[in-house]
Structure 1
Amino acid sequence: MDVGGSWKALSVTDADTNPVPDAPAWWTTAVVYQVYPRSFADSNGDGVGDLGGIRQKIDHFVDLGVDVVWLSPIYRSPQADNGYDISDYRAIDPLFGTLDEFDALLAELHERGIKLVMDLVVNHTSDEHAWFVEASSSPASPKRDWYVWRDGVDRGPGAPGEPNLWRSAFSGPAWSRTPSSDEYYLHLFAAKQPDLNWENPEVRDAVFEMMTWWLDRGVDGFRMDVINFIAKVQGDLRGDSEAFTTGPQIHDHLREMHERVFAGRDAELITVGEMPGVTVDDARLFTDRARRELDMVFQFEHVDLDHGPASKFDNTALDLRDLKRSLARWQEGLADAGWNSLYLANHDQPRSVSRFGDDAGFRVESAKLWATLLHLHRGTPYVYQGDEIGMTNAGFTSIDQYRDIESINWFAEQRALGRPEAELLEALRIRSRDNARTPVQWTAGASAGFTTGTPWIAVTPNHDTINVDAARSEPGSILQHYRALIALRHSSEVVALGRFEMLEPEHPALYAFTRTLGDDRILVVGNVSGDRLDVPLLEDAPWASGELLIGTHPGAVGSRLAPWEARVVAASAPQAVSGDRRS
């Protein structure tokens, strides 16, 4: 179906003819678990995680209590960016298995009551995808306009000839040429990841047909990689990033996607859009159920707070007050329209306990604290593999240990500029995406029980003490705490749906907020420091006589919190908290 320029975006009036259900969506009480397949579990000894390994660990998902498993890309790929460069959207990469194995995994998850979400990367493809191979073969190719091409610019002898000076997210220019012509193609990521031209209706047709094929196969939705990048500003090129993020066509594209792919399906589906740079106001539009665009977005504001002015590798200290202001703004901004995704870590971020906690002195306590704070916010929590046992950053000391294209390219670029190797390695130790990509630590044995072969990336040495086997039997472990948090979200409407209110927003170490639904109220307090902290509001009615629902230190009483302690207290009766402690 060629919708082309005749496609008309749904107006609010159009949407109102299909009223939003009064009942909360199923995903408001759900918890999602992200699997990064190549690092999860290896079933055949080749050192790379695979579908067989995931199938072997389904009991882990059930034991944890999660509702959804999100798989990072498993499609056929040259693996330039670990699968985010897709060469065939309808095939499984042999590294991970076969389509039959995928179908078996999907069926087994469904039998156990768990949904499966696919990672969808459609801002760009691999340069080895048949579409780009044809598009790049000649300027006259019928698929030429499936990608973004521009003429170069003569800036004089020795100057770069790219159409503009946009930079790739993985270092270097965002434009490259092919041998067939002097035109440049756009790649906001690696040169092997050319950007699709979503203004071409044939591109949208092909993408929507592919998505429909996966839904017909039984998958339960998609997490959409950098989906706000699909709408570039048309016309003359500009030199700022606003020209390639969240362009004016983005809402039309997403509503068309909803109408052609998701609408009318008798299934409980979920759509999540990763959207760097979006604001709260943007997110309200994207996730307002009446607009039929997305169910929730991954925003980056809170995980960008400790980035310096130069780049993410320019590490700066995080001020807790800034983090509280950011998360409160998103909680309040999406309170009456839209929905939050709750995360501190994923395959693109460092390990949460190393970044936000104290992985040396209070690893268990700080991991449990941040899990508590995150899961008690309003939204859908995302658990990244390994966080449920408090896995730490990798601790690599040599560039040869890294596998991530972003880290390797940045290191090479900065070394060429003359920066000291030790300085760059320290930045990578803190920031590299590979910190999150070391194998899941299942046991204390060889290669952490991840593989019988040589792992594709080194296992973190502390697996002898930090592993799933140990956590299963250890009273008060991080894993046990995650189980309890997930069970609480499933059983408590106020946790899932209650209104959020931040308390003590300017306190440098106390993270405190309430959740309210009707007469039900809970208080969440956390000491984000290595020192004891007196919290007078714990002495106030109704919290002093309230019920401790869950805490990082079981049986704790009184108003003094231990280092990295968090408590969740149910009010003994519906009363107001002192006004001077409200945000």
Structure 2
Amino acid sequence: MGSNFIHHPDGWVGTTAWWKDAVFYQVYPASFQDSNGDGWGDIPGLISRIDYLHRLGVDVVWLSPMFESPQQDMGYDISDYQAVYSRYGTLEDVDQLIEVCHSRGMKLILDLVVNHTSDQHPWFKESRSSKTNPKRDWYIWKPPRYDSAGNRMPPTNWRGYFAGSTWTWDEKTEEYYLNLYGPFQPDLNWENAECRAAIYDVAMRFWLDRGVDGFRIDTVNKYSKRTDFPDAPITCPDVPHQPAPEMWCNGPRIHEFIHEMQTQVLGPYNAVSVGELSNTPLPEQVLPYVSAAARELDMVFEFSMIRLGTGNLFHGKYIYQPFPLSALKRHVETWQTFIEGTDGWHTVFCENHDNGRAVSRFGDDSTPELWEASAKTIALWQITSTGTLFLYQGQEIGMRNMPESWGIEEYKDVESLGFYNEVLETGDEKRIQATLHGLRILARDHSRIPFQWDDSPNAGFTEEGVTPWMRVHDQYRELNAAKQLDDPESVFSFYAKALRLRKEYRDIFAHGPFKLLEPENEALFIYIKESDARVSSSTTEDTDTKRKALVVMNFTKSVQECPDVSGALGCRKGEESLLMSTVRSGQLALETCDELKPWEGRVYLNFRP
């Protein structure tokens, strides 16, 4: 049941890096809490909600970009690394946020966006001012090519993430500059040592000196590009620009650059680091970034699982591709096991600011009953997984995608609109409708609608009568934090209790080896977690048997047969014990029930606490 939790008296055992056991919580500041009635979330609003996060069990707040910016990509286009965008607040507000976090035993990390800047950044303004400017080489400039008819062409045929070419023509100096994302986001040239030194000083040490505890590092594997700039192979013959991630992801000097960042900045400050590692689907590619011996990053986000359902990353990304449960399980197994026997580490997440809501993608939000059940089961899956746990704002109350009835006019994201407008130009009505369908499931916009605090106008995000920057979800009166805080068996309460158990049983859940059972079962997600002896030497009464947990989850809306629990755990029947379940009190006699309700999840132990 939602309240069927058993307290484990041993608490945290052993020692390890603090961030391995921590719960990180991402705050998207524009959408979290507006304090001054301008319809835009801000840092004082976040400060006013810190006790909410503390009550949930958050150890580290990750604040998405709040730096000075023209806001063409929601702050991922930075024009001043040392200033705060005025609608978010001031430097003094950040200082206060650091203080209120630290006073509660919490930490704060910021987003580090240093693959590119805004085209309004002073560095780029200098760089584009002339070919002889000292900062010209701080960005990547190339002369044009010309076809046989004399028409000017970009230096390569690479396609960018937001559609179109990765190159933008500059009339004044008559060269192209590289921008993997929007034309307003020119890429910095990490080959230039002076540029790297400025990044370390201006964008990193400045904030670490103020007391920030580390960084989530945006696009961390894109700093080293192919410097010979070849054309990409023609894989999409019907369009002029071709997917080319192999030209800029995991480039020839990337490990040199990140090791330098670690040794010059992150290490001396003892700053925690988590990198965004895209287009890196193989464990042997990822491990060098997170190996402790390599001294690069503490951990990274790998996106194979969270990308399930998306189409081609560069063409047709939002043409939704349905997937079976077995596909999800294969990805989870790969990334739950890839660090075993190594000195690497892993992250656990199923939501962020760049994806649709987990309960709408991996769960079932079609009815209130299935919404709550699947939101709790997703929570159970995340909380019992090995690695550092990252939650995204609203995940803990089961926030869902924007209603399907909302039109394209409610979508604000530059990527969503870029892909939609591109397909609109084709006039292909079938493809247009398929893209709209995919956007309703996958778009980045879903995670960015205002947080649903209560049932007052504007969901408590901003004042009554104010028009928020994004529309508030139609169902905020039924789904909001205040309603769940008063319910001991709500989604929020389930998260809060399960997070405490994750720490109490850290040797099993945060650190324990993972073993997938029944990989082809399309209804049940079942795995064994075993105690990691490096974290805890606790065992059951049989000293030859390690502490184990069996996680059983029904990922369907139908009743399913519960597997043989004692057999899976390797103990005598009746010796297993139920640690937690997603079902509300009084609905089932859980320990004797042989059936799993729709979207029910349970965790059994092979010992009695």
CA contact (8 A) 2:565 2:604 kept: no
**Which 4+ stretches in 1 moved above 3 angstroms?**
156-160, 421-424
Shift of 1:545: 3.2
- Paired residue secondary structure (1:273): strand
Shift of 1:61: 0.7
CA distance in 1, matches of 2:428, 2:154: 26
| Correspondence for 1:449 | 460
Superposition pairs of residues 40-439 of structure 1, within 5 angstroms: 40-157=32-149, 161-210=153-202, 211-239=204-232, 240-265=244-269, 267=270, 269-278=271-280, 279-309=282-312, 310-337=315-342, 338-361=344-367, 362-395=370-403, 397-420=406-429, 422-439=433-450
CA distance in 2, matches of 1:223, 1:33: 11
Q: Is 1:477 aligned to 2:495, yes or no?
A: no
CA distance in 1, matches of 2:178, 2:352: 26
1:552 to 578, 582, 593: 582
Shift of 1:264: 3.4
Larger deviation, residues 343-352 vs 533-542: 533-542
* 1:487-514 deviation per Cα after TM superposition (whole angstroms, max 9, x unaligned): 0122112222111111111111211111
CA distance in 1, matches of 2:20, 2:503: 10
| Correspondence for 2:528 | 514
| Correspondence for 2:538 | none
Task: Assess, with a 3 A threshold, how the Cα gap between structure 1 residues 158 and 444 changes in structure 2: closer, same or farther.
Answer: farther
| Correspondence for 1:3 | none
| Correspondence for 2:451 | 440
| Correspondence for 2:11 | none
- Paired residue secondary structure (2:475): helix
* 1:409-442 deviation per Cα after TM superposition (whole angstroms, max 9, x unaligned): 1111111111335444322211211011000000
Task: Assess, with a 3 A threshold, how the Cα gap between structure 1 residues 132 and 535 changes in structure 2: closer, same or farther.
Answer: same
Larger deviation, residues 394-403 vs 332-341: 394-403
Larger deviation, residues 219-228 vs 489-498: 489-498
| Correspondence for 2:8 | none
Shift of 1:336: 2.7
CA contact (8 A) 1:312 1:431 kept: no
Amino acid at match of 2:560: L
Larger deviation, residues 323-332 vs 456-465: 323-332
Larger deviation, residues 441-450 vs 210-219: 210-219
Unaligned runs of 5+ in 2: 1-13, 233-243, 534-545
* 1:241-268 deviation per Cα after TM superposition (whole angstroms, max 9, x unaligned): 2111010211111110111002233x5x
Larger deviation, residues 394-403 vs 281-290: 394-403
Amino acid at match of 1:499: P
- Paired residue secondary structure (1:512): strand
Task: Assess, with a 3 A threshold, how the Cα gap between structure 1 residues 447 and 160 changes in structure 2: closer, same or farther.
Answer: farther
CA contact (8 A) 2:525 2:554 kept: yes
TM-score (norm 2): 0.88
- Paired residue secondary structure (1:462): coil
RMSD: 1.7
* 1:337-380 deviation per Cα after TM superposition (whole angstroms, max 9, x unaligned): 31111111100000000011101131000011011111111001
TM-score (norm 1): 0.92
Shift of 1:544: 4.8
Amino acid at match of 1:399: I
* 1:113-136 deviation per Cα after TM superposition (whole angstroms, max 9, x unaligned): 110010010000000000000001
Amino acid at match of 2:274: V
Task: Assess, with a 3 A threshold, how the Cα gap between structure 1 residues 380 and 159 changes in structure 2: closer, same or farther.
Answer: farther
Shift of 1:402: 1.3
CA distance in 1, matches of 2:439, 2:109: 30
- Paired residue secondary structure (1:359): coil
Shift of 1:553: 1.2
In the alignment of these two chains, the number of paired residues is 551
Amino acid at match of 1:128: Q
- Paired residue secondary structure (2:449): coil
CA contact (8 A) 1:109 1:116 kept: yes
CA distance in 1, matches of 2:290, 2:458: 42
Shift of 1:325: 1.1
Larger deviation, residues 223-232 vs 149-158: 149-158
Higher relative contact order, chain-length normalized (CA < 8 Å, sep 6+): 2
* 1:190-249 deviation per Cα after TM superposition (whole angstroms, max 9, x unaligned): 110000110100111011112112111100100001110111122242413211101021
CA contact (8 A) 2:320 2:437 kept: no
CA distance in 2, matches of 1:447, 1:213: 36
Q: Using the aligned pairs only, state the percent identity.
A: 41
